Amino acid sequence: MQFWNVIILMVSKEIKNIIAKYLSNQASSSELAELGLWIKDVNNEEEFYNYVKTNYAIDYNLKKFNTKLLEKKLLAYIENDKKTYRIKRYRNIGKIAAAASVVLILTLTIFLRKEVNTKLIEPAIVNSIEPGTDRATLTLDDGSQIALEKGASIQTRDANSNGKEIIYKPKERKTKEVAYNYLTIPRGGQFFIKLSDGTKVWLNSESQLKYPVNFIKGETRKVELVYGEAYFDVSSSSEHNGSSFKVYNQSQEIEVLGTEFNIEAYKDETNIYTTLVEGKVSVNSAISNQILKPNQQTNLNLKEKSLTISEVDVYNETSWKDGVFSFQRKSLGDIMKVLSRWYNIDVQFNDVELKNAGFNGAIGKDQKLEDILETIKNFGVIENYEIEKQRVILK
């Protein structure tokens, strides 16, 4: 797999964040103004060129890269966005923070499409596949199941749901009796849950969480990520008489005192990834026990029976909960695996070598699948594609 390898020295973290926010349609008017001024400074031209080319350009067929043209186009877009920002802000108030209107920014399509020579190919035969949405199945302690869907309100003895999230009533039990619920997210779904202790959990597609309806006062709070991916924002132990919080999943146990972290543990994967965003966690397994610091990730390899720690960009690991799939140095095979869960599709590669094409970039989760495939096709990574019901064939 080949990637652009450009050393970045002078782009500040603040400017990087603004560029990323602009490209995903989340920048404020003041941030747009700051970015515009920064780009106009001739001393920043090379740094801007290197950073964008490295982080948001596909490594395929980009033999020419017109910095001046890109800069001119970007400034024009910024000026236009600044003029319309106030209207957009009031029209979308309440949605901006959640990145509800994230646009497809994979490989800077809007700027670079004219820079790439692509083949003239007959249009693909497609049927429209919409992105996933908020939906889940709630299994109560008596075994009964309730479908949770966007737009449908549900009320149980212990919780309320508006179809996008389920909120459990704050309550601690003094008895040893514990009732458990399951929240199961299908392929093409996502859901948010707030547990009775105030812990917030975002669940990705094809995931299942087991948790108590109420925690026992004074005892360790325990939940289980049965499979899939979840982002935890744990209610501090100081609010629960020092009670710690533990997450169990497959072959590991994670203990926290109050923190934010992400666990990726899909059924069809042999690696379990735990990424710490804030605070401190202990990752315990039969192989090794490790203490994680912020921006670190453990990789528990079940096949090789090993556990390693590495530094990661936590945004790339956790952006899915905010409506963005962010990919850095990922293969097309890995990306399509992520998209298959969100769009509830099966993917077939007619040429297995296509799996190794490398990407940097981000994809808004609200995009239609064919828009994403068209972008990949326009850059010459694939010659064509077909969509047959829930199966995508890449050629």
Q: What is the 3-state secondary structure (H, E, C) of 283-329?
A: EEECCCEEEECCCEEEEEECCCCEEEEEECCHHHHHHHHHCEEEEEE
User: What is the CATH architecture assignment of 133-318?
Assistant: Sandwich (2.60)
160-191 pLDDT per residue, tens: 999 999 999 987 666 677 899 999 999 999 99
239-270 pLDDT per residue, tens: 887 889 999 998 899 999 779 999 999 998 99
CA distances from residue 321 to 49, 98, 199, 325 in whole angstroms, order as listed: 29, 9, 15, 9
On whether the pTM is more than 0.85, the answer is: no
Q: Which residues contact 134 (CB under 8 A, 6 or more apart)?
A: 148, 149, 150, 163, 164, 165, 189, 190, 191, 192
Domain with CATH 2.60.120.1440 in the chain: 133-318
Please give the average per-residue pLDDT across 300-312, as a whole number.
93
CATH code linked to domain 1-117+323-395: 3.55.50.30
Domain with CATH 3.55.50.30 in the chain: 1-117+323-395
What does the pLDDT read at residue 69?
56
Rounded to whole angstroms, how far apart are CA atoms 115 and 101? 26
Q: Average pLDDT of the chain?
A: 78
Please give the average per-residue pLDDT across 275-300, as a whole number.
93
Q: Which two three-digit tokens encode residue 226? A: 């049965």
